[in-house]
Chain A
Amino acid sequence: MSLRIVVTVKYVPDATGDRHFADDLTVDRDDVDGLLSELDEYAVEQALQIAEDADDAEVTVLTVGPEDAKDALRKALSMGADKAIHVEDDDLHGTDAIGTSLVLAKAVEKAGYDLVISGMASTDGTMGVVPALLAERLGVPQVTLLSEVSVEDGTVKGRRDGDAASEQLEASLPAVVSVTDQSGEARYPSFKGIMAAKKKPVESWDLGDLDVDAEEIGLEGAWTKVDSATERPARTAGTIVKDEGEGGKQLAEFLASQKFI
């Protein structure tokens, strides 16, 4: 039987761009270029490797986001994913992590899955909680923050490197996995891959297709509220000296003046 892998990906504002909040305190997506979250590329890569090692597997890439989020799907398809699902609905604007996990869970269930693979966090919200929320909603094991992952005989195994210890984990499929940026460099799309991606199917679903009520998601449905967002003032210009043989001593003098030594 075919191994069904669903990779959840996010379309985010470029982290190297000048990111801002919009007037309603959601992420401003208009004034900065968007792209597939860098950390999700690792999830796509591990999904492709697991699929390559399996006898028969299918990799579906799933995103929830605005029209432009298709770019993220296209990138994943050009890397080698087989098909894509785009959940798009005007009512989604301002949805928080809890709401996003609801939409993803419904979409993953509708698509059918044995394994869900996510990145460790998005590069914009950076919460890193969606994989755990997804596992909670789906009622399947969470095998998260893996630096190494493998699937064999209906079992997923992996290594989770924590602060205090490195842990070996194991769970039966179906399961939700997330991988870190230590899991292995993501491949670049080949020219052939880019051309092939143009012919791969991209399904579009809205909230009606997923039985999600508008009240459960969006800015109004969010269980958290951002009251203010203030740009951090630029740090006041510091003292810069050129080392002419005494740079280390000058630095020590500064540290002493600040009571660090």
Chain B
Amino acid sequence: MAEVLVYVDHVDGAVRKPTLELLTLARRVGEPVAVALGNGAGDTAATLAEHGAVKVLTHEAAEYADYLVVPKVDALQAAVEAVSPAAVLVPSSAEGKEIAARLALRIGSGIITDAVDLEAGDEGPVATQSAFAASYTTKSRVSKGTPVITVKPNSAAVEAAPAAGAVEALAVTFSDQATGTKVTGRTPRESTGRPELTEAAIVVSGGRGVNGADNFSIIEALADSLGAAVGASRAAVDAGWYPHTNQVGQTGKSVSPQLYIANGISGAIQHRAGMQTSKTIVAVNKDPEAPIFDLVDYGVVGDLFDVVPQLTDEVKTRKG
């Protein structure tokens, strides 16, 4: 069976969930071979093996943290040359897409980004994507070279599928371009203790109707009662009520959770683009004409300052 390279997104050896989802998809098209780079790369092997990696190629070097993107492209290119895979899968983060694009160009291959599903096809893997603010679904494939495909979080279930996960050192020679862009400082984002927005099973969002930064505490309280991530509309972010890293929409994060709860969000196209593919959508809004109600499975026309705290209390009661 052909091998499929999976680029591992990890923080000091802790594998992030979208990579495990990639392993599920990779097993549909071949045998997953993981590529883990940088500090802690070797520590990823056990988790990757549990989820189907037959091999884990690792390389640790300071360049991965000290310079932007290109060292990782060099390493992935070395892995492609070593393995001759049937496809290369990369998580669809901002960095993942840049790595994948440069790799594709170097190896003379087409690239598909932001796939939400992947299946084997007669002419190579077929990727499903959402287009035009998720108003269309397209099916595409790479028609030249080794398919390079980036996949969005929450596109597949994480599955246990124990495999050998044999660790092998990857030989990497850095290119002249590798040290072009220096990372001179790094400030880790403060942890909120909540799930990652793009990876969360439930997202609770607030918009213009929340009407102030302090009022976001009631959105956070509902999120915490459900173990959810917190999102915000562009209006709320532009007003300075909530950080841009939490923005859901065209110019923010695109999320596809099992449950999306929109509070005080009208549902403009910019917002819909980032949440329309959520499985179940629920909204609370004062305005019965708000376009968000066209999308919902369940909607409450009412004041979010009454409805949301009551919902939070009820969730807590039911969860005991």
Contacts and interface: CB of A to CB of B under 8 A. Distances in A.
Interface in B128-172: 130-145
B298 A239 contact: yes
Contacts of A232: 130, 134-137, 276
Interface size band for B: 35 or more
A98 B139 contact: no
A153 B102 CA distance: 28
Given A224-B142, A228-B138, A97 B111 contact: yes
A243 B304 CA distance: 10
Contacts of B212: none
Given A129-B113, A141-B181, A248 B281 contact: no
Interface size band for A: 35 or more
B136 A251 contact: no
23 contacts: A15-B270, A120-B251, A127-B97, A128-B113, A135-B102, A140-B180, A144-B69, A157-B184, A163-B94, A166-B189, A169-B68, A175-B181, A223-B143, A224-B110, A226-B139, A229-B131, A230-B138, A231-B135, A247-B311, A254-B297, A255-B259, A255-B315, A260-B226
A251 B311 contact: yes
A143 interface: yes
Given A132-B98, A163-B189, A168-B185, A181 B315 contact: no
B94 A128 contact: yes
Given A15-B269, A142-B68, A252-B311, A261 B319 contact: yes
B109 A223 contact: yes
In the A-B complex, the 5 residue pairs with the closest CB atoms: A243-B302, A248-B310, A223-B110, A141-B180, A129-B101
Nearest to B280: A258
A96 B140 CA distance: 12
B189 A169 contact: no
B105 to A, nearest CB: 5
A136 B105 contact: yes
A194 interface: no
Interface in A189-218: none
A25 B139 CA distance: 11
Interface of A: 15-16, 19-21, 25, 39, 96-98, 101, 120, 123-124, 126-129, 131-133, 135-137, 139-145, 157, 160-172, 175, 180-182, 222-232, 234-235, 238-243, 245-252, 254-256, 258, 260-261
A124 B133 CA distance: 9
B52 to A, nearest CB: 25
Interface in B288-315: 288, 293-303, 306-315
A163 B189 CA distance: 7
B11 to A, nearest CB: 6
Given A129-B101, A165-B188, A252-B311, A243 B196 contact: no
Contact of A248 (B136, B189, B311): B311
Interface in B92-120: 93-95, 97-98, 100-102, 104-106, 108-114
A98 B104 contact: yes
Contacts of B185: 167-168
B269 A133 contact: no
Interface in B254-273: 258-259, 269-270, 273
A39 B251 contact: yes
A25 B141 CA distance: 13
Given A132-B98, A247-B284, A261-B319, A164 B188 contact: yes
A142 B182 CA distance: 10
Given A163-B93, A166-B189, A224 B180 contact: no
Contacts of B198: 163
A69 B250 CA distance: 22
Contacts of B302: 242-243, 247
A245 B97 CA distance: 47
B111 A228 contact: no
B215 interface: no
Contact of B284 (A143, A166, A169, A251): A251
Nearest to A17: B269
A161 B165 CA distance: 33
Contacts of A225: 140-143
Given A123-B250, A243-B303, A143 B136 contact: no
B173 interface: no
